[in-house]
Amino acid sequence: MQHVEAVLKLLQPGYRLQSIVVRRRKPNAYFKRGTLLRHVLEALRKAERPMTPREIAVQLIAQKGVGDPPAAEVSRLTGSILSALQNHGGDSLMAHKNTAPVRWSVAT
């Protein structure tokens, strides 16, 4: 952050640095940091067919014992799952892009 402040001072000496606010991320309520991909891979291995990130999210939340999760939590978890799948796609995961929405499976 100090480097960003130094560059801003060089480019615009009168810029108010106090107006820059650090954005804090909300931690995942259901999974510890670094464990989500393991749970996703486990769900995909047990699945009989390719799944969408939303289907995976709903299944994982149900496994945690949450009856009726808020829509915002499901949406946030779906985004996290999609990011994890896209980051590791091609290694051990396969995207079926001929379907809408894109479904994912474990590569054989």
61-71 pLDDT, tens digit each: 988 888 888 88
pTM: 0.72
Place of tokens 């480097």: 3
The full set of domains in the chain, from first to last, is 30-106 (1.10.10)
Asked if residue 11 has pLDDT above 80, the reply is: yes
Residue-level pLDDT at 89? 75
User: For 97, what's the count of Cα atoms within 13 Å in the CB-facing half-sphere?
Assistant: 5
Residue-level pLDDT at 23? 80
**What does the pLDDT average to over 73-85?**
90
Residue 59 pLDDT class (50, 70, 90 cuts): very high
Residue-level pLDDT at 49? 92
